[in-house]
Amino acid sequence: MLQKIDKKNYILFYFIIFLILSSIHNSNLKLNNFFNVKKIEVLGLDKKNSIILEKKLVSLIGYNIFTLKKESFNFMNSLNFIKDYSVKKIYPNHVKVFFESAEAISTIKYLNELVVLGNNGKIIKLENLPTNVPKIIGTKNIKKAFRTLKMIDKSDLEIEKIMIIEFFPSERIDVELRNKKKIKFSTNLSVDNFNFGSKLLNDDEFNKSRIIDLRIPNKIITYD
């Protein structure tokens, strides 16, 4: 009789252990699901590009918000309409992605087509070609164009006042402004060269000249 009671107690004990373990498992499962990403919000882009991003980000729905790392969004670095982005996690299951759209900084003829260069260092696609950015002529070298635009951006020369940047085989350039004035720069361009050109444009002695020629080192030649 005693053996039967012991056997029943063992069965009851294991049944209770089973229930406890099942409850713990189900609780963990519910807790994990609680932190699964349910919504990803795209902010800062126009409607068209927002839809594109939302479709690409939908694959991250269901991920645990704690395991969602910056690397999960690396694919966005290849998108040419984005300049920068940041990710904000809103616990328990909401993610906001803030975007800065790429903007046009120049146009250039490339592969027999006029393309737009963006401030993200990439060729960007726009519905209409911009008319308020410099046009680069005389070269099809995209890297050279970006390198020059970057120097101008760092200088005191206001890029929005430039109409044409013309490259020559000798590696020098002419910068024609929207007021029809022109600066002829020498080779081995630097930010200092552009700063000097900008200074002359604001100098009473030189700002009335139509052309400022800086091709010869340490000399300033002007043409009215």
Backbone angles phi, psi at 174, to 5 degrees: -110, 140
Query: Which domains, ranges and CATH numbers included, belong to the chain?
Result: 35-101 (3.10.20), 104-223 (3.40.50.11690)
Please count the other Cβ atoms lying within 10 Å of the Cβ belonging to residue 216. Answer: 10
Compute the mean pLDDT over every residue in the chain, rounded to the nearest whole number. Answer: 86
Write the pLDDT tens digit of every residue in 56-100: 899 899 989 888 888 888 888 889 999 999 999 999 999 999 999
Backbone φ and ψ for 217, nearest 5 degrees, come out as: -55, 135
Task: Work out the angle between the directed axes of helices 142-154 and 191-201 (0-180°, nearest 10).
Answer: 60
pLDDT band at 213 (very low <50, low <70, confident <90, very high): very high
Q: Positive or negative CA dihedral for 126, 176, 198, 149?
A: positive
Checking if the pLDDT of 5 tops 80, the result is no
- Quick count: other Cβ atoms within 10 Å of Cβ 220? 14
Residue type, 128: N
Q: What is the pTM of this model?
A: 0.78
Percent of the chain whose pLDDT exceeds 90: 62
**pLDDT(24) > 50:** no
pLDDT band, residue 17 (cuts 50/70/90): low
Kindly report, residue by residue over 56-66, the tens digit of the pLDDT: 899 899 989 88
| 3-state SS string for 131-189 | CCCCEEECCCCHHHHHHHHHHHHHCCCCHHHEEEEEECCCCCEEEEECCCCEEECCCCC
User: For residue range 110-129, what is the model confidence (pLDDT) as tens digits?
Assistant: 888 999 999 999 999 988 88
Band of pLDDT at residue 181, cut at 50, 70 and 90: very high
Angle CA(158)–CA(159)–CA(160) in degrees, nearest 5?
95
Number of neighbours of residue 53 by Cβ within 10 angstroms: 21
Order of strands across the sheet that contains 39-43 = 39-43, 94-101, 82-90
